[in-house]
Amino acid sequence: MLHKIFLCLPFVIPTAAAGDRPNIVFVYADDHAERAVGAYGSPLTKTPHIDALAAEGVRFRNSFVANSICGPARATVLTGLHSHANGKKHNGGGFKDELPTWAKLLQSSGYQTAMIGKWHIGPKPSGFDHWAIAKGGYYGPTMVTAEGKTKTAGYTTEVITQASLDWIKSSLEADEPFAIWINHAASHRTWMPGPQYHDRYAEQVLPEPSTLFDDYAGRSPGAAASQMRIARDLFGAYDLKLPPEDGEVLGKRGNDLLNSMTEAQRSAWEAAYGPRNAAFAKAGLEGDALVRWKYQRYIRDYLRCVDALDDSLGQVRSFLKDNGLADNTIVIYSSDQGFFLGEHGWYDKRWMYEPSMRTPLIIHDPRAKSQGIVVDQLVQNIDMAPTILEYAGLEVPSSMHGASLASLAEEKQGPNWRTSVYYHYQQRDSGRTSHTVAPHYGVRTKQHKLIHVYDFDAWELYDLEGDPDEMHNLFGTEGAGEITATLVQELQRLREKFQDGTGKAI
């Protein structure tokens, strides 16, 4: 192995011998909503490193998921398939590990491959030369590898970032290109910020969405039945970082999360949250004022976790630059789905409504001629695997549902791109700590969205141009007959095209 010599040389470009095949860094956040990305016009925050990636690369402004929940989203980006076809229809089991994935195809073509961070798919990762699954909460995650388990004392976003950079560094010993999936656990519930982020946003009153006090009138009964309301369904210790009360739901788990901190981390935490909790107890808030307080605590903690994600991306890009890799490394930033940041009074995701169905997607190919491109076409997470395969110079299996975005990124796509996307959420859960979102499928075009909440035999239709907040269900209203018929037909066509026989028939 002549590659060892690279260790001694600064600014080595180890991929030179691999010809044109670029390295690929796929950074995948968890629950990072577009509304919390500066480049997507966030009213809440700036994300300087993500925004810079968009300014230098391509931002997809109509990027959607096919099933807005963690495990299924990961299975879809790996396989290029909708959930029913890859088997991972909900957060339980079912993943068909024998399917082709971008990881397996890159690996067999000579790429060095790695997956570091959240996994949530089920079977041990295949197609990766190295993998390390982060388990646990935000503090002190355990990293599980093929060799065993290692308990860490760090903050999860930083642990995952460092492990990723360590692997990239080790990959430079060989001259084959590398592809790494940096699979963050943030900004998933329970939104616990790292010590250096505790005080961010503390002095700001963050803007509320106009639908924070939604009463769900006119929507499917499934909307009102969902247990993800900021007003009612955030738990004191677990979500809101308040001292647990006796017998409180998830109170012990909230305590366990605090106990996973080191002494220094716990001191910093108490110094930040102790006085705030004391002020909250003294204020004795009720009604709308209490909801507003919960929103502020939730959204501040969420954004603090996003800030760590942004810093992580900055660290990765600096590393690439410092090691002479930036000119031949494609960097992709996306999230497994969006998230409700108070819209409709909610946190969490799952619904086909915009905040949850949308997901940020930015691609920077340093070899591209143009910068700061914004793509309008409807793209979806089924496109991720074909895109990575095309960047790696590999053929896309015809069995994959998605299509490569590389031509859109180069503004070369003709008029034949899809004009609608198909969505199907089908997790059923119940109990006080579950979100009880009813299964539903639907179709979204540039202007309209049709949703069938089939357990309730309910339909929803929105004109997204006139009603971007999806507050006025037009289904069954006067004048909506023609567009409804067109969309039902399109929904049926997509269900047949993707051979989705799951869920109730239309």
Residues touching Ca ion, count (CB under 5 A): 4
Strand ranges for 200-263 from DSSP E: none
Comparing CB distances to Ca ion, the nearer of 29 and 375 is: 29
Comparing CB distances to Ca ion, the nearer of 356 and 473 is: 356
Q: Point out which span in 277-285, 323-331, 332-340, 400-408 binds Ca ion (CB under 5 A).
A: 332-340
Q: Which residue is nearest to Ca ion (CB)?
A: 70
For Ca ion, which residue of 13, 14, 24, 31 counts as binding (CB under 5 A)?
A: 31
CB of 29 to Ca ion, least distance (A): 8
Q: Point out which span in 24-32, 324-332, 456-464, 465-473 binds Ca ion (CB under 5 A).
A: 24-32
Q: Which residue has the tokens 């996994």?
A: 119
Residue 34 near Ca ion by CB under 5 A: no
Task: Write the CA distances from 5 to 10, 17, 323, 334, 440, integer angstroms.
Answer: 11, 14, 15, 35, 56
For Ca ion, which residue of 21, 28, 30, 319 counts as binding (CB under 5 A)?
A: 30
Comparing CB distances to Ca ion, the nearer of 175 and 348 is: 348
Extract the tokens encoding 272.
Answer: 């930040």
Type of residue found at 64: F
CB of 427 to Ca ion, least distance (A): 12
Comparing CB distances to Ca ion, the nearer of 75 and 330 is: 75
Q: Point out which span in 129-137, 251-259, 314-322, 333-341 binds Ca ion (CB under 5 A).
A: 333-341
Query: DSSP per residue over 13-74, as a string?
Result: -GGGGGTTPPEEEEEEESS--GGG-GGGT-SS---HHHHHHHHHSEEESSEE-SS-SHHHHH
Comparing CB distances to Ca ion, the nearer of 52 and 357 is: 357
CA distance 115 to 377: 29
Is residue 272 classed as helix, strand or coil in its secondary structure?
helix
CB distance 430 to 438 below 8 Å: no
Residue length of the chain: 506
- SS3 assignment for 158-217: HHHHHHHHHHHHHHCCCCCCEEEEEECCCCCCCCCCCHHHCCCCCCCCCCCCCCCCCCCC
For Ca ion, which residue of 51, 175, 336, 383 counts as binding (CB under 5 A)?
A: 336
CB of 73 to Ca ion, least distance (A): 6
Q: Which of residues 53-72 bind Ca ion (CB under 5 A)?
A: 70
CB distance 344 to 210 below 8 Å: no
Q: Point out which span in 28-36, 111-119, 353-361, 443-451 binds Ca ion (CB under 5 A).
A: 28-36
CB of 222 to Ca ion, least distance (A): 20
CB of 366 to Ca ion, least distance (A): 29
Q: Point out which span in 23-31, 146-154, 401-409, 464-472 binds Ca ion (CB under 5 A).
A: 23-31
Type of residue found at 179: A
CB of 120 to Ca ion, least distance (A): 8
Comparing CB distances to Ca ion, the nearer of 22 and 72 is: 72
CA distance 259 to 136: 12
Comparing CB distances to Ca ion, the nearer of 30 and 214 is: 30
Residues lying near Ca ion in the complex (CB under 5 A): 30-31, 70, 336
